[in-house]
Structure 1
């Protein structure tokens, strides 16, 4: 075998590569009432900007004025568990460099041309440094200390086993006891599924935060630990793009042709329906596997191997063109109807009472064509809900407690200051109706949302009916609210490497300083 081997094949039956496979469900728990990119983020009050704030003051949430120091008080917490990692084999210089180093030696262009959403990719590495680094990300031996942090069945850990082609859940009630967990692992041959380990492991936090910047989509993870001669889950497919990193031991995998290409939901498939594997292989420490959503798969730990540990990194759930259209079309219809009287005409009398509405399809087709024409002639397309869902639930920057992004530093921005946007990947601009105005006619405002104050502890863990929510740790929306007249100036800052405050496209120096001070207080710009 070569030093680094990639096993590549397309989908015709019988094209399996050497060795076996099987694996557990890769679906990350999603925030309740939301989805991984296409969900609806709950709107909560965010910082409001008055026309002329007092010098040195920053608008507080709800439109009131508060001191800068109080508004941005640091809340840096030590991670619950971070063990020393081996020297990283990944490049954290940028999101692009991180992804390139993750799939190495495959080139980025080749990956997206030949594999992404198309077929699996197996990268087998005979590299002790990569294997040691992967092993440091998460190990079976880490569970004892993690259980002391207050883990709960269902929320943090699932215990399961595949029996006669079905998933058997072996969870107990309440808090996880390590001795009981180890007993189920050893005696019942149960698989341990650990949800969202990036909450505890800083190296995974770093990896997933960079991948969220790279993909512009939420990135979750699960760790699966399976004893020898056992299988955790039956053959199934997921609704996420999957990257598998083998951390400890070996795992025997089998992949099958999708019955639903690029599936939008998780589903178990019976053995008699899936046919023969298209790919079969063994993953060893340091190996990487990618496969698209909809790929049917199963995995087991071979006899003679004490256990297998792998981490599944998942992304692109509900992040398709269909999801984007569902998000964007309501705003497009609303805006177009202001200008096009055809969209404002009444539907036929008693249309809503009819069983068969086939007669109106021609009219709907005509209106959709008018919408398409309007879209081609428009400068911007609203898609605020998907944007807000992503920015609200993604990981904050991983800078460590010695470099707290929540506290602004350096000089205050003045009219002659040169400023630069920072944390570009962690902030978005949207235009939407004023959330704080209850009047029937709500004027449009500019909102700047950011993820700098998001909580690592709640990443991908939901917002309702769980312990995190009960403890008051549910994710909130953070950002600023401006009059629509500030939009061009904000675009200036976002599109320029640097800009002088006095050059901002606003009518008065007071507005220019107000904008700069507001962004500086949220740590979104730095003064050069």
Structure 2
């Protein structure tokens, strides 16, 4: 029998005195979880300076020096998304791919009132990547980040809702936000606002529940489905949107049904053809319903849940050359640590992580348990052979300091 599993970023236990409390919320984590999470909007004034995460200088570097390609950027003006060809071009000898960002074209569109949207910043700007990784671990839900850079007195998008929760962090300038309650509560990822354009437009004509101007250091939380529109004020506005792609009971139900169907397809009776000339399916439906209920009782969505959860977030960075150097110079004094954001789950003798799974001998499990505390450990404490294996697998990395 396997031992009870241990997991380092359990969504039920990680939310406390972390980045959410210290940088995003003016209420306690307990009050946020009970009264606001997935329920209603929360405006937190002056909770901090976010310029260590992102800034105007970061925008210019990403657009002019990093060689980004679509879909890491899109542009919008007056509610319409601009064609990619209007701000992309090849980048010269050795870089002839046509969808690279053209900083001159971007500047011209921006000067004409278009909003710049830098997408998936958790992949392209390390301070944002580290922050979103910490927040995702605390919340137990995947987090991604976009930046919106809007010219003065302009807006990029009309009233709409998102299918994920958001934290809006005002970085520079100011922006007026007009918020309305949902027309469709808790939309799923395949239920976008464009399916309800008329209801959204009608709701936007009513009195808002929030009409406010965000200043630098303000943070606005919106559950998925809440309508919003925003317009820059008298200067360029830069804000980060942290999108929280919340797991739902429906998602778990999908995985439960998928596992049940996978079991049913192994049943020879379920694979049998129906008789020739079947016109009334009632008897067949009732029989299949009983079969399906039987396999649902046996179905286990946990493996699929963990696989999906792992695939929607990335592990912490790993430098291949630093990893090789550590492996080559490994001795008992070499300090190593668990790689960040691995979502490790020990179901002895197997360790599941975002980079795969490993099985261990019984005498190795105490060292693995110690490793899961997240602290730095000398390789000799783990055992040189075990430390070398973990380095090769990308589960541990050289200690940072």
Give the TM-score, by structure 2 length.
0.72
Corresponding residue for residue 148 of structure 2: 224
Corresponding residue for residue 479 of structure 1: 356
Between Structure 1 and Structure 2, how many residues are aligned? 354
Q: How does 1:37-48 map onto structure 2 within 5 Å?
A: none
2:18–2:138 contact (8 Å) kept in structure 1: no
Residues 1:161 and 2:80 aligned together: no
Corresponding residue for residue 135 of structure 1: 51
- Structure-1 separation of matches of 2:126 and 2:71: 20
Q: How does 1:482-501 map onto structure 2 within 5 Å?
A: 482=359, 496-497=369-370
Counterpart pick for 2:158 among 212, 234, 239? 234
Counterpart pick for 2:316 among 397, 401, 414? 397
1:158–1:192 contact (8 Å) kept in structure 2: yes
Alpha-carbon deviations, 1:455-480, whole Å to 9, x = none?
Answer: xxxxxxxxxxxxxxxxxxxxxxx335
Residues 1:112 and 2:30 aligned together: no
- Structure-1 separation of matches of 2:293 and 2:176: 51
Q: How does 1:445-524 map onto structure 2 within 5 Å?
A: 448=351, 450-451=353-354, 478-480=355-357, 482=359, 496-497=369-370, 518-519=389-390, 521-522=392-393, 524=395
Corresponding residue for residue 253 of structure 1: 177
- Going from structure 1 to structure 2, the CA distance change for 1:362 and 1:487 (only over 3 Å counts) comes to farther
**Higher relative CO (CA 8 A, sep ≥ 6), structure 1 or 2?**
1
Secondary structure in 1 matching 2:18: helix
Alpha-carbon deviations, 1:272-305, whole Å to 9, x = none?
Answer: 3544222211111101111111112111113xx1
- Going from structure 1 to structure 2, the CA distance change for 1:491 and 1:370 (only over 3 Å counts) comes to farther
- Going from structure 1 to structure 2, the CA distance change for 1:363 and 1:281 (only over 3 Å counts) comes to farther
- Structure-2 separation of matches of 1:372 and 1:262: 26
2:180–2:228 contact (8 Å) kept in structure 1: yes
Tell me how large the CA RMSD over aligned residues is.
4.2
Counterpart pick for 1:308 among 237, 245, 254? 237
Corresponding residue for residue 220 of structure 2: 289
Secondary structure in 1 matching 2:314: coil
- Structure-2 separation of matches of 1:523 and 1:185: 42
1:119 shift after superposition: 1.0
Alpha-carbon deviations, 1:86-140, whole Å to 9, x = none?
Answer: xxxxxxx998522221333311111111111111111112x6xx2xx31343233
1:520 shift after superposition: 5.2
- Structure-2 separation of matches of 1:231 and 1:373: 51
- Going from structure 1 to structure 2, the CA distance change for 1:227 and 1:424 (only over 3 Å counts) comes to closer
Residues 1:122 and 2:23 aligned together: no
Alpha-carbon deviations, 1:308-350, whole Å to 9, x = none?
Answer: 1110011225x22222232244335556898xxxx65347853
- Structure-2 separation of matches of 1:353 and 1:407: 70
1:207 shift after superposition: 0.4
Considering fraction of residues, name the structure with more helix: 2
- Structure-2 separation of matches of 1:99 and 1:301: 26
> Mind listing any 5+ residue stretches in structure 2 that lack a counterpart?
1-13, 90-99, 373-382
1:239 shift after superposition: 1.2
